Structure 1
Amino acid sequence: MSTGGNGETKGKGNGKLSKVEALKRESQYLKLPLLDELNAGGASISDDAMQILKFHGSYQQDDRDVRVQRRREGQEPAYSFMVRVRIPGGRIDARQYLACDELARSVGNGTLRITTRQEFQLHGVLKQDLKATVRRINETLLDTLAACGDVERNILCCPAPIHDRVRARMQEDCAALAAHLSPRASSYWDIWLDGEKIDNPDAPKPGPALVPTPGDDAVEPIYGKTYMPRKFKTAFALPDDNCTDAYANDLGFLAVVEGGELVGYNVVVGGGMGTTPSARKTFPAVAVELCYVPRSEVLRIAEAVVKVQRDFGDRGDRKRARLKYVIFDWGIDAFRSKVEEYLGGPLTPPKDLPVTEVDDHLGWHEQGDGSWFLGIPVENGRIKDEGSLRLASGLRAYFERYGAPARLTCLQSILLADIPADRKDEVNAWLEEYGIASVERTSTVRRWAMACPALPTCGLAVTESERVLPSVLDRFEEAMAALGLEGERYSVHMTGCPNGCARPYNCDIGLVGRGASKNPDGSPGPGTYTIFLGGRIQGDRLNVLFKDYVPIDRIVDELIPVFSRFKAEREEGESFGDFCHRVGVEALAAEAAASSSASEPAKA
């Protein structure tokens, strides 16, 4: 692929751009045809406008639970929109939380969802309410810009509100990079805010491009007229606390600490979870080491990596448009040389600092300034009232009463910060009043599990995920209690399709939606899943296929023999994922297949 001096790009091979590339090129910096269609009547927008809408932080969806029935009745789909709130580093204040909560109740479906990228999602927003919703979010000094689309997505950072210089500097670097890599064109403010830009006076401001290249553009100096070939994701983490899953990102910064000071970062590149099983050319990947940079070089190295991907990522085939494919095709040495070419100098080799641990930051913790923070588990990130659990009402009451800030985690939980020591008992009583489970009352498997939304809103889902994972975890809890492994820490990530939004390919147990089934009325049924084993909670290793097309009610049964062997043969301190990796997932799968075959009744 080549790039021109004005940011125009061409696809690989025969040079033909994908349809989305053509739409971006003709959109006048993400304005058309979205602006015209938003101002028109109706409940939906065209597919072309929807592709541009993504850059503004929203997806058009329809309720798949009623899709078949509405089609039979001659009605159009039940359209609504998901609005994603960009929150770099997961930092929010009480006013911002309460505004998102109010929007969820007034224009959404009554729930807020914490994403795996430290954001909020509003579901069920109607087209007529979109503009007012985005304006209200901006009025709180948050936004939806670049929460979706072919740009730098929400940048992740360790959310623990611990008052030390390392975490404070990491959050500063995260915020500065989020500002630097934000789109610069005025379309977002023209469409949603009538040209008004509501700035946070305390937030970093985007500066000039730091790595001049021929592909730069006057309006979008980093992205050019056609932006990135595909989405781009970045995370900041600590080697002893990879709570942001840095290796699953296109670009990761692992903190290098010397003498209690953050001096720089090991940079890793090329992570990405999405794959298409029917296309062998696609695959998940964990990031590989690129270099070490001092803190002062964070913006420059990030911009250089982004621009190499901008100029050489595949714009003809969106299935192979992520950075991981450039690195796979070239090799890391050639990629490193190209980044050095863009920077105009050599890169420094990375430090020897492997990832060793992950902390979910749940429960009570001292902040280091005399106050405490409380990490509350939120199952699958869904903040709602259901039965005796009144999480939505409880959090609303908490933020109204205390006005304290909070942080969102990449495991879809929330951390309540700045709680005075003399109010801990009062906050514990609040948990009891609203039926909110503390981490002490949450099973280990449930604590480390997560799921994508899947049905009924995601158009890509082939099976259930969020709605069925709780029942799967119930079965895990029963099985682990029977084996005496209820305290064992391992990660279970479930997705409703192979795109990997809940990062199922680098955890201990990945459950990936594989095949759809149908209910008697023709609507999608629970379907089947692929089970992957042998990753680990630290996130720096891919797992391996264990068994394919497993019905949901058979998932735990298929894994009980593996857990039994793990209990009997594990080495001291060995995790479940490390055990599967050491023994070999292929060997475990062959053993399971032989056992299943032997247990089948003999045929006449």
Structure 2
Amino acid sequence: MIKNLKKLPLTLTKEEHIKENSNYLRGTITNDLKNKITNGFTGDNFSLIRFHGMYQQDDRDLRVERNQQKLEPRYAMMLRCRLPGGIISSKQWVKIDAFASKNTLYGTIRLTNRQTFQLHGILKKQLKNIHQILHKLGLDSLGTANDVNRNVLCTSDPMQSQIHQECYEWAKKISDYLLPQTKAYAEIWLDQKKVLSTDNEPILGKSYLPRKFKTTVVIPPHNDVDLYANDMNFIAIIENNIIVGFNVLIGGGLSITHGNKQTWPFLALELGYITIDKTLSVAKSIVTTQRDWGNRTNRKNAKTRYTIEKVGLDIFKKEVEKRANITFEPIRFYSFTTRGDTIGWKKDINNHWSLTIFIQNGRICDNNHQLLKSGLLQIANVHPGNFKLTSNQNIIISEISNENKNKIEQIAKSYKLITKISKLRENSMACVSFPTCPLAMAEAERMFSFFITKVENIMLKYNMEKEIIVLRISGCPNGCGRSLLAEIGLIGKSIDRYNLYIGGNRIGSRIPKIYKENITEKEILLHLKFLIKNWSIYRKENEDFGDFVIRKKIVKEVINPIHDFWN
């Protein structure tokens, strides 16, 4: 543990004490790296490594067996790269693939719905190695976890390539601007020499933020980043094919605690419009307001949405205007009509091609059905352009020339990267959950494929197999799978039991309502059979599933989540 702790008010959470006394996120991490007795991190360092982009995990399938053998859990780290906008070059991909193959317990790469990749199963002795590889590639993992601004999302692949490039540049600027300034990351992982009295956190503060903070940059009409689930969102307003400003929305978030009515999901609210030159100033002002006003005595109520509920949106807005020295203009018109990714080939306005490949749950590995990992590596070896990771856990091979298109298509076909899938499967996803997530209450990723196949059979039985339903599975209520923005959402309650939510909408702007609580997969399928059958019979023309169950009053619409979600 860290010595000479400064005493803080007892009302603050344990996490606040850890941050305040961490010496700008250093703690005693270097000592733990030298400790060969355990493969894990001890004391406060267990929490502090998250600021550096890592979570300590263990294989929960092996916990009981190892406990019986009087062995410590099989500790290994999950590392999440910082990749604003989700763009990674082919050359970078090749190096990441090599590390995953040789130096992780699972040998896989996992794409997240935060538009980046994670490596699971890194032993402590390999941590410096992967951080230094990332550094040589121009990448890092700083600030991808814990109480900071996380990886900044942006719309992945609109047809207007010039606008996307602007969108990406703003995602990167915001990410860099809000990044922790501590030198701890460079000292610990890159072996850079410590310089005394150089640490200062002008935006995040010595105790950083009260809770995690998520940001997006979005190009309407495509809501592929699920902007309503994020703390801070910049919706691009385009004139004459350039971004002239942003509509700013704040306060979204989906995490809840089962049975705790003081927690609720919430959709981001409109603050107003700003010209593009005010973007960083407004971003800083929103973050610092949440930094100063957010709840540091109860982490379950520490996110931005709870701060807004406590003080009111108007007061929060006035404070942001004061700090940024601006006045928000009225919201400019915008609308969203689509969500998700368009799988397959597309051509952009620059006459280049892109190929979007469906990655079930983002897990990149080789199996009996397709050789995803090997195929993507082969493409990376011949493609001079970039890969774009999407917020729906898919991957876009972008900027493909006409000359290179046939070569990449042949590789994709030979490794079975291009497969026929249902619209249901294409628009559904699950979080990692077991065996590595310590918060998991029920299966998600590992049961996803079997479960979706059963739902596909129900859809086929009622001639609805060509229809879209946004279906998501989360192993716990912390929101990673974004189930509370789905038309059908499953949230793990305990082993093999879930809460079933229905009534979200296609574009991700409505929170679903609980339909059945604490039920098994068999029970869920029986309910879905009944619901899908009735949808097929009584729907209006082209009526989506989520809209149908609201119209037929199968569940009540969640209009104000603070009052409607639990009641």
Q: 1:385 aligns to what SS in structure 2?
A: coil
Shift of 1:560: 1.5
Shift of 1:419: 1.6
Cα distance, 1:581–1:352 mapped onto 2, change above 3 Å: farther
1:507 corresponding residue in structure 2: 486
- Please give the per-residue CA displacement for 1:553-584, whole angstroms capped at 9, x wherever unaligned: 33222112111222222223321112222223
Shift of 1:218: 6.8
Q: 1:546 aligns to what SS in structure 2?
A: strand
2:224 corresponding residue in structure 1: 243
Query: Is the 1:276–1:498 Cα contact (8 Å) retained in structure 2?
Result: yes
Query: Is the 1:490–1:508 Cα contact (8 Å) retained in structure 2?
Result: yes
Greater alpha carbon shift after TM alignment, 362-371 vs 459-468: 362-371
Could you tell me which of 187, 190, 202 is aligned with 2:187? Answer: 190
Shift of 1:313: 0.6
1:54 corresponding residue in structure 2: 50
* One-letter code aligned to 2:265: P
Q: 1:468 aligns to what SS in structure 2?
A: helix
Q: Mapping of 1:188-267 within 5 angstroms?
A: 188-195=185-192, 219-267=200-248
Query: Is the 2:503–2:555 Cα contact (8 Å) retained in structure 1?
Result: no
Could you tell me which of 536, 541, 549 is aligned with 1:567? Answer: 536
Query: Is the 1:165–1:262 Cα contact (8 Å) retained in structure 2?
Result: no
Q: 1:176 aligns to what SS in structure 2?
A: helix
- The separation in 1 between residues aligned to 2:201 and 2:437, in whole angstroms, is 31
1:488 corresponding residue in structure 2: 467
- The separation in 1 between residues aligned to 2:370 and 2:338, in whole angstroms, is 31
2:513 corresponding residue in structure 1: 544
Shift of 1:47: 4.1
Shift of 1:417: 1.1
1:396 corresponding residue in structure 2: 377
- The separation in 2 between residues aligned to 1:80 and 1:164, in whole angstroms, is 40
* One-letter code aligned to 2:211: R
- The separation in 2 between residues aligned to 1:512 and 1:287, in whole angstroms, is 21
- The separation in 2 between residues aligned to 1:557 and 1:92, in whole angstroms, is 43
Could you tell me which of 100, 111, 119 is aligned with 1:104? Answer: 100
- The separation in 2 between residues aligned to 1:85 and 1:162, in whole angstroms, is 27
1:18 corresponding residue in structure 2: 13
Shift of 1:35: 2.4
Query: Is the 1:507–1:535 Cα contact (8 Å) retained in structure 2?
Result: yes
Q: Do residues 152 (structure 1) and 149 (structure 2) align?
A: yes
Shift of 1:61: 0.4
- The separation in 2 between residues aligned to 1:181 and 1:93, in whole angstroms, is 23
What is the aligned-residue RMSD (CA, Å)? 1.9
1:322 corresponding residue in structure 2: 303
Could you tell me which of 272, 289, 304 is aligned with 2:253? Answer: 272
1:528 corresponding residue in structure 2: 497
* One-letter code aligned to 2:168: Q
- The separation in 1 between residues aligned to 2:312 and 2:483, in whole angstroms, is 25
Cα distance, 1:383–1:58 mapped onto 2, change above 3 Å: same
Query: Is the 2:513–2:556 Cα contact (8 Å) retained in structure 1?
Result: no
- Please give the per-residue CA displacement for 1:255-293, whole angstroms capped at 9, x wherever unaligned: 112233221111111111111013221111111111111
Q: Do residues 577 (structure 1) and 546 (structure 2) align?
A: yes
- The separation in 1 between residues aligned to 2:411 and 2:363, in whole angstroms, is 19
Shift of 1:89: 0.1
Q: Mapping of 1:397-412 within 5 angstroms?
A: 397-412=378-393
Could you tell me which of 465, 472, 477 is aligned with 2:451? Answer: 472
Greater alpha carbon shift after TM alignment, 499-508 vs 337-346: 337-346
Q: 2:186 aligns to what SS in structure 1?
A: helix
1:362 corresponding residue in structure 2: 343
Query: Is the 2:182–2:199 Cα contact (8 Å) retained in structure 1?
Result: no
Q: 1:529 aligns to what SS in structure 2?
A: strand
Q: 2:154 aligns to what SS in structure 1?
A: coil
Q: Do residues 39 (structure 1) and 30 (structure 2) align?
A: no
Shift of 1:479: 0.7
- Please give the per-residue CA displacement for 1:426-484, whole angstroms capped at 9, x wherever unaligned: 3332222112233xx11111101111100000000011100001101100111111111
Unaligned runs of 5+ in 2: 1-5, 558-567
- The separation in 1 between residues aligned to 2:352 and 2:87, in whole angstroms, is 17
- The separation in 1 between residues aligned to 2:193 and 2:335, in whole angstroms, is 46
1:381 corresponding residue in structure 2: 362
* One-letter code aligned to 1:544: K
Shift of 1:404: 2.8
Query: Is the 1:230–1:321 Cα contact (8 Å) retained in structure 2?
Result: yes
Query: Is the 2:24–2:199 Cα contact (8 Å) retained in structure 1?
Result: no
Cα distance, 1:131–1:399 mapped onto 2, change above 3 Å: same
2:560 corresponding residue in structure 1: none
Q: 1:228 aligns to what SS in structure 2?
A: coil
* One-letter code aligned to 1:168: Q
Cα distance, 1:480–1:273 mapped onto 2, change above 3 Å: same
- The separation in 1 between residues aligned to 2:370 and 2:163, in whole angstroms, is 36
1:523 corresponding residue in structure 2: none
- The separation in 1 between residues aligned to 2:94 and 2:193, in whole angstroms, is 23
- The separation in 1 between residues aligned to 2:306 and 2:55, in whole angstroms, is 26
Greater alpha carbon shift after TM alignment, 31-40 vs 184-193: 31-40
Q: Mapping of 1:296-307 within 5 angstroms?
A: 296-307=277-288
Q: Do residues 126 (structure 1) and 123 (structure 2) align?
A: yes
Q: TM-score, normalization: structure 1?
A: 0.88
Could you tell me which of 53, 66, 73 is aligned with 1:70? Answer: 66
- The separation in 2 between residues aligned to 1:320 and 1:61, in whole angstroms, is 25
- The separation in 1 between residues aligned to 2:121 and 2:421, in whole angstroms, is 29
Query: Is the 2:500–2:517 Cα contact (8 Å) retained in structure 1?
Result: yes
Query: Is the 2:181–2:199 Cα contact (8 Å) retained in structure 1?
Result: no
Could you tell me which of 443, 448, 473 is aligned with 2:427? Answer: 448
Could you tell me which of 16, 21, 25 is aligned with 1:30? Answer: 25
Query: Is the 2:378–2:411 Cα contact (8 Å) retained in structure 1?
Result: no
Query: Is the 2:256–2:477 Cα contact (8 Å) retained in structure 1?
Result: yes
- The separation in 2 between residues aligned to 1:250 and 1:142, in whole angstroms, is 24
Could you tell me which of 88, 95, 108 is aligned with 1:92? Answer: 88
- The separation in 2 between residues aligned to 1:272 and 1:367, in whole angstroms, is 33
* One-letter code aligned to 1:119: T
Aligned length: 547
* One-letter code aligned to 1:25: E
Shift of 1:401: 2.3
Shift of 1:355: 2.4
- The separation in 2 between residues aligned to 1:549 and 1:133, in whole angstroms, is 41
Cα distance, 1:443–1:295 mapped onto 2, change above 3 Å: same
1:555 corresponding residue in structure 2: 524
- The separation in 2 between residues aligned to 1:507 and 1:462, in whole angstroms, is 19
Q: 1:476 aligns to what SS in structure 2?
A: helix
Q: 1:513 aligns to what SS in structure 2?
A: strand
Q: 1:92 aligns to what SS in structure 2?
A: strand
Cα distance, 1:48–1:426 mapped onto 2, change above 3 Å: same
Shift of 1:145: 0.5
Q: 1:389 aligns to what SS in structure 2?
A: coil
**Aligned-residue identity in percent:** 35
2:138 corresponding residue in structure 1: 141
- The separation in 2 between residues aligned to 1:66 and 1:218, in whole angstroms, is 41
Unaligned runs of 5+ in 1: 1-7, 198-216, 517-526, 589-604
Greater alpha carbon shift after TM alignment, 351-360 vs 56-65: 351-360
- Please give the per-residue CA displacement for 1:150-195, whole angstroms capped at 9, x wherever unaligned: 1000000012174533222111111111110111110000000011
- The separation in 1 between residues aligned to 2:291 and 2:338, in whole angstroms, is 33
